């Protein structure tokens, strides 16, 4: 449903950078009547004073967090039905469930864009609930081939999908059992929603997101790793080795990550812990390095303008472009801390696997073969990547930048994509035990390795 763009919205977030981003994104979505609050307590007072039409709040804030803010509002008769959206880095399913049980009207995980926040606002005012999920579309079958809709985002991690599409479009290979449709998404949240509600058949997605969905009964299986390695930690140009130790430089600063449920978060957390720091999200727990979730493409600009941001961890080609632009310098390649680590995986709907096993097998086999195809000719791969990841030229990619990315030591790899349970267990154990994130799942039930077994 359409929402009046003139509604008054109170936005609560303790981070000045995030309040600025909220304002920019909400303005792009058409909402300009905004009142800013610096935490839940401030938000509660402003609600009483301003009588808004909607509240959009972060969760992790000092003094009074977003959940406490919501709970206090629901105790007041005047505001017990006030639409409330939690827009937060708390993107795991357990936290989403907690938010909705407390009386929220919606949850928009960071990072989000104007379309996602607008959709969240429309949903909050429509009264639509989490149970009101779209009916799964019927897959078309023509000439004995089933349509296979695979989602991805604009990062080099997902090049195996782009190269496979390139090979099919050129006529170099012709699948017997499926017609490939690729679906470019604006971020991780639409991919997560699409997997959860069955709108997409398959996706290239962050491994911890896929594991978290499975933990809360989403009927998906991991059929393959999407790549190995490929992320980079960039340190701000404001570091001066003559005066700063790494510990003193990062202490009381911000480090940006692309998603809470990510290997980027895990590796950055581990690095900072080893420096003797206490990284985390703000709230009740004492921390001295703050993680903020922001869209990857915005990370270099935010760090350039804000000296409080000491670094960010991100997939390519964002990191290399930041180094070339002298916005920051290399702290470490992810492979330097964990060689051949997984990051994104290929997650497929279980009902697609059950109904179309031949198509699933062929897709996995062709992806594995395409990984080798990429590794055989990185110059060709760079050209394919530009066309697939930046078809409209909005990211400013060019083959020379990508050739540089692909030739780095400890660079991203697309060979050897067999799903290794021990690697995924290392991720879930550290995130659960050291970071307090997610649930431990039975990886034998989550991983469908039979297709990779047959391909090998």
Q: For residue 141, what pLDDT is reported?
A: 82
Question: Would you give the DSSP letter of residue 260?
Answer: S
Let me know: does 320 contact 198? Beta carbons within 8 Å.
Answer: no
Identify the band that residue 391 occupies on the pLDDT scale cut at 50, 70 and 90: confident
Q: Which residue has the tokens 């349509």?
A: 147
Mean pLDDT for all residues in the chain: 91
How many angstroms separate the CA atoms of 265 and 261, rounded? Answer: 7
pLDDT surpassing 60 at residue 130: no
pLDDT at residue number 431: 96
CA distances from 34 to 15, 28, 52, 261 (A): 16, 13, 9, 30
Percent of the chain with pLDDT strictly greater than 70: 97
The helix or strand, by DSSP H or E, that contains position 208, with its residue range, turns out to be helix 207-215
Q: Is the pLDDT of residue 134 over 80?
A: no
Domain chopping of the chain, boundaries? 9-126, 141-229+341-455, 231-337
Question: How do residues 229-286 score in pLDDT, each as one tens digit?
Answer: 999 999 999 999 988 999 999 999 999 999 999 999 999 999 999 999 999 987 657 8
H/E stretch holding 372: helix 357-376
Query: Which tops the pLDDT comparison, 420 or 282?
Result: 420
Beta strands in 89-177 (DSSP E): 106-109, 141-142, 145-152
Closest CA to 205 of 223, 219, 226: 226
Given pLDDT bands bounded at 50, 70 and 90, which one contains residue 381? very high
308-to-252, 304, 325, 383 alpha-carbon distances in Å: 8, 10, 19, 37
Going edge to edge, which strands form the sheet with 328-333? 279-280, 289-293, 253-257, 309-315, 231-236, 328-333
Q: Residues 85, 53: contact at Cβ < 8 Å?
A: no
Cα 13 to the center of its chain, rounded Å: 20
DSSP state of 79: G
Domains 9-126 and 141-229+341-455 share a fold: no
Band (88; pLDDT cuts 50, 70, 90): confident
Question: In the prediction, which pLDDT does 371 show?
Answer: 96
How far is it, in rounded angstroms, from Cα 345 to Cα 157? 10
Statement: residue 94 has pLDDT above 90: no
Q: Is the pLDDT of residue 132 over 80?
A: no
Q: Is the pLDDT higher at 444 or at 107?
A: 444
Would you say 429 and 440 are in contact if contact means Cβ atoms under 8 Å apart? yes
Q: What is the pLDDT of residues 170-203, one digit of tens each?
A: 999 999 999 999 999 988 888 998 999 999 999 9
pLDDT of residue 210: 97
Q: Is 275 helix (H, G, I), strand (E, B) or coil?
A: coil
Segments of 23-140 assigned E as strands: 34-37, 54-57, 84-88, 106-109
Considering the four listed CATH numbers 3.40.50.720, 3.40.309.10, 3.40.50.261, 3.40.50.2300, the one that applies to the domain covering 9-126 is 3.40.50.2300
| Homologous superfamily of 231-337 | Periplasmic binding protein-like II (3.40.190.10)
pTM, 2 dp: 0.90
**Helix H or strand E encompassing 280:** strand 279-280
- Alpha-carbon separation of residue 199 from 48, 190, 255 (angstroms): 40, 10, 33
Residue 11 pLDDT exceeds 70:
yes
**What is the residue whose two structure tokens read 């350039």?**
304
Contact status, residue 233 vs residue 267, Cβ threshold 8 Å: yes
User: Which two structure tokens, joined as six digits, stand for 27?
Assistant: 């303005």
Query: Strand 253-257 vs strand 220-225: parallel, antiparallel, or unpaired?
Result: unpaired
Task: State the pLDDT confidence band at 137, using cuts at 50, 70 and 90.
Answer: low
| pLDDT at position 135 over 60 | no
User: pLDDT tens for residues 211-231?
Assistant: 999 999 999 999 999 999 999
**Topology of the domain comprising 141-229+341-455:** D-Maltodextrin-Binding Protein; domain 2 (3.40.190)
Stretch (H or E) spanning 222: strand 220-225
pLDDT recorded at residue 284: 59
Q: Under 8 Å CB-to-CB from 360, ≥6 apart: which residues?
A: 223, 348, 352, 353, 451
The residues with which 56 forms a beta bridge, in sequence order, are 11, 85
Q: Which helix (H) or strand (E) holds 10?
A: strand 9-12
Residue 385, helix vs strand vs coil: helix
Residue identified by tokens 């972060």 is 58
Percent of the chain whose pLDDT exceeds 90 = 71
Q: How far is it, in rounded angstroms, from Cα 348 to Cα 355?
A: 12
The pLDDT score that the predictor gives to residue 104 is 92
């Amino acid at each position: 449903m359409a929402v009046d763009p003139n509604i008054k919205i109170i936005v609560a977030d303790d981070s000045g950078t995030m309040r600025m981003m909220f304002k920019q994104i909400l303005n792009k979505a058409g909402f300009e009547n905004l009142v800013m609050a610096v935490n839940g307590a401030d938000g509660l007072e402003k609600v009483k004073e301003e009588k808004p039409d909607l509240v959009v709040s972060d969760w992790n804030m000092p003094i009074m967090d977003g959940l406490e803010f919501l709970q206090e509002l629901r105790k007041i008769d005047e505001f017990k039905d006030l639409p409330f959206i939690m827009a937060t880095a708390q993107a795991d399913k357990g936290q989403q469930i907690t938010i909705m049980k407390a009386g929220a009207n919606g949850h928009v995980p960071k990072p989000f864009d104007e379309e996602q926040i607008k959709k969240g606002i429309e949903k909050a005012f429509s009264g639509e609930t989490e149970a009101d999920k779209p009916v799964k579309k019927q897959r078309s079958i023509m000439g004995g081939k089933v349509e296979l809709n695979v989602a991805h985002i604009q990062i080099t991690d997902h090049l195996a999908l782009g190269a496979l599409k390139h090979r099919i479009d050129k006529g170099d290979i012709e699948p017997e059992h499926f017609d490939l449709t690729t679906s470019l998404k604006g971020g991780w949240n639409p991919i997560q929603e699409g997997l959860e509600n069955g709108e997409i058949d398959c996706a290239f997605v962050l491994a911890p997101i896929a594991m978290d969905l499975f933990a809360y009964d989403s009927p998906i299986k991991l059929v393959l790793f999407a790549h190995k390695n490929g992320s980079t930690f960039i340190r701000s140009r404001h570091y001066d080795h003559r005066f700063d130790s790494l510990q003193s430089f990062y202490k009381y600063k911000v480090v940006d990550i692309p998603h809470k449920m990510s290997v980027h978060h895990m590796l950055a957390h581990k690095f900072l812990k080893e420096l003797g720091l206490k990284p985390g999200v703000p709230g009740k727990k004492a921390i001295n390095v703050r993680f903020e979730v922001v869209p990857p493409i915005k990370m270099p600009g935010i760090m350039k303008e804000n000296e409080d941001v000491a670094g960010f961890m991100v997939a390519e080609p964002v990191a290399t472009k930041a180094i070339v632009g002298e916005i920051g310098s290399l702290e470490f390649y992810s492979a330097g801390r964990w060689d051949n680590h997984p990051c994104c995986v290929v997650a497929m709907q279980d009902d697609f696997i059950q109904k179309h096993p031949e198509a699933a097998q062929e897709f996995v086999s062709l992806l594995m073969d395409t990984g080798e195809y990429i590794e055989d000719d990185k110059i060709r791969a760079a050209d394919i990547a530009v066309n697939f990841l930046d078809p409209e030229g909005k990211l400013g990619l060019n083959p020379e930048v990508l050739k540089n990315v692909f030739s780095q030591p400890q660079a991203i790899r697309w060979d050897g994509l067999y799903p290794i349970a021990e690697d995924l267990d290392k991720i879930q154990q550290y995130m659960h035990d050291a970071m307090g994130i997610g649930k431990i799942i039975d990886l034998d039930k989550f991983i469908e390795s039979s297709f990779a077994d047959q391909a090998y």
